Structure 1
């Protein structure tokens, strides 16, 4: 079943804010593509259940949400809108794959295309409180021309847009990780184009491989 909804579920602003985590450590990081804010949202899944009384829509089976360059995938997505018009969504993966985010950023330098990927077992979006949360095996990555530049991992990654506060919580190993590539010096050439990376979480998204 295909459902075309014009809600602002996966706003470009929310994901841009989430990826500003890397901006705290990488000044060259750009925001999400601004044009995404003006695009409609398309949700595709194998099945949809709607509860008009509770204003909840549940999409299941190979769920894909697209909005401009934004792409969100999972096995299930619970979406609702409150009486004031704020949107909330919970996206979960399947038994063998993680929920994913993908978005292209606005260019900061000629010839450099930035893309952002996030994966986790569960991803929550709260439009009222301006927060995005990734739970369990959470990873956020930034690429330049397909080359991995920054990577952040933790059991939970939370961003609060109202306070510009980021929080990474450790998993069972008691550690969080940040990998940041060296910044090119002024006047240095941009990274050479590289083949597009595999789908977010294609390798480590498998829960079996993460154990």
Structure 2
């Protein structure tokens, strides 16, 4: 989406620098697609309250909600789960929390990908992705990606971040060298 960034008055040198930074952030996750075996595992849920409407294909869980499926873990205070009406397969999940969180171990990786935001949308159908809203953080190891909105395409291993309508807010990226002996800090996620 270079044209959007250019329309906001960001120069091409800054755009190129941001793209290089993004590629460097994702380099350690180059095979960062989700584990196929996770999708074959049962979905397990725990919450304080549940409302399930099989006719509409939606269920709502409230109170310290935890969803797990293999290495996938999504948490929040309120979770709406939508199923495809014809197959009853998981379509998407909308989570709200303080914050809502996501964690999954990508195929072939030793470090989990984590995300947190006050509002999260997880899409299982189409390109598998997470949309983090209202102040988002996505990280793997010490490498972090922060913005008002962050979209992580799990299958394509791509990240898109936006600063929001307030031009004074910006996205922030922290990337540590992937070298032996390079100092890595705990970002306090």
The answer to whether the superposition gives a TM-score over 0.5 is yes
Q: Say if 2:56 and 2:85, in contact at 8 Å, map to a contact too.
A: no
**What is the Cα deviation at residue 82 of structure 1?**
2.3
Say whether residues 1:92 and 2:89 are aligned partners.
no
Q: 2:162 aligns with which of 164, 169, 180?
A: 169
Residue aligning to 2:130: 132
Q: Point out the more displaced range, 46-55 or 123-132.
A: 123-132
Q: Say if 1:153 and 1:176, in contact at 8 Å, map to a contact too.
A: yes
| Structure 2 CA distance for partners of 1:55 and 1:75, relative to 1, 3 Å | same
- 1:171-186 aligned within 5 A: 171=164, 172=166, 173-184=168-179
Q: 1:77 aligns with which of 76, 79, 104?
A: 79
Q: Say if 2:68 and 2:74, in contact at 8 Å, map to a contact too.
A: yes
**What is the Cα deviation at residue 92 of structure 1?**
0.6
Q: Say if 1:106 and 1:114, in contact at 8 Å, map to a contact too.
A: no
Give the distance between the partners of 2:107 and 2:45, measured in 1 at CA: 24
Give the aligned CA root-mean-square deviation in angstroms: 3.1
Cα deviations across residues 85-137 of structure 1 (Å, max 9, x unaligned)? 351110110xxx200011223445xxxx3122100011112333324211011
Q: Say if 1:134 and 1:156, in contact at 8 Å, map to a contact too.
A: yes
Q: Say if 1:98 and 1:119, in contact at 8 Å, map to a contact too.
A: yes
| Local SS of the residue matching 1:54 | coil
| Structure 2 CA distance for partners of 1:197 and 1:182, relative to 1, 3 Å | closer
TM-score by length of structure 2 reads: 0.71
| Local SS of the residue matching 1:129 | coil
| Local SS of the residue matching 2:27 | coil
TM-score by length of structure 1 reads: 0.65
* Structure 1 unmatched runs, 5+: 1-21, 202-211
Say whether residues 1:156 and 2:168 are aligned partners.
no
Q: Say if 1:107 and 1:114, in contact at 8 Å, map to a contact too.
A: no
Residue aligning to 1:18: none
Q: Please identify which structure carries the higher helix content.
A: 2
Give the distance between the partners of 2:61 and 2:160, measured in 1 at CA: 29
